[in-house]
Amino acid sequence: MGLCLGLQLAVIEFSRNVCGIKDATSREFDSKAKNPVIDLMEEQKELMEKKNYGGTMRLGAWDCDIKKGTIASKAYKTDKISERHRHRYEVNNQYRDLLVSKGLTIAGINSKKDLVEIIELKDHPFFVAVQFHPELKSKPLTPHPLFKEFIKVAGK
């Protein structure tokens, strides 16, 4: 289970070792990256150039459409959710078709901005990574649906 940066690192790892992009990385780690599979949203790039870092954060609740038949859909028991974010780097949509063609499941999308929210690996009992922070909506007696599903699978 990967949260926020965990999703980004999973995409980098998948890009390098499954897609064969040996220099895949995040623009956060290498500002001159040739293959930034993780990058800023287009509208934020100009803000970064002006060093307006606060304006480049994706904050607050964002909607997500969940793909049917995924671990996320099983956990949430719905196809539309809203989750809280606090980050500035995203999956670079220029690489999405390649990632999917090599077996990465895009399990959740923010359709308004066309941003990847959830990824999964199909043939894994629980490989789920999310761009948001489910821990912000989790409590000891009312765990977040993804945590609850993770524990359920881990117990098997």
**Catalytic residue numbers?**
4, 133, 135
Query: Taken in order 21, 26, 29, 32, is the CA torsion positive or negative?
Result: positive
SS3 89: strand
SS3 of residue 130 by DSSP: strand
Residue type, 35: N
3-state secondary structure of 75: helix
The torsion angles phi and psi of 127, rounded to 5 degrees, stand at -110, 100
How far is CA 102 from its chain centroid? 17
The answer to whether 68 and 36 are in contact (CB under 8 A) is: no
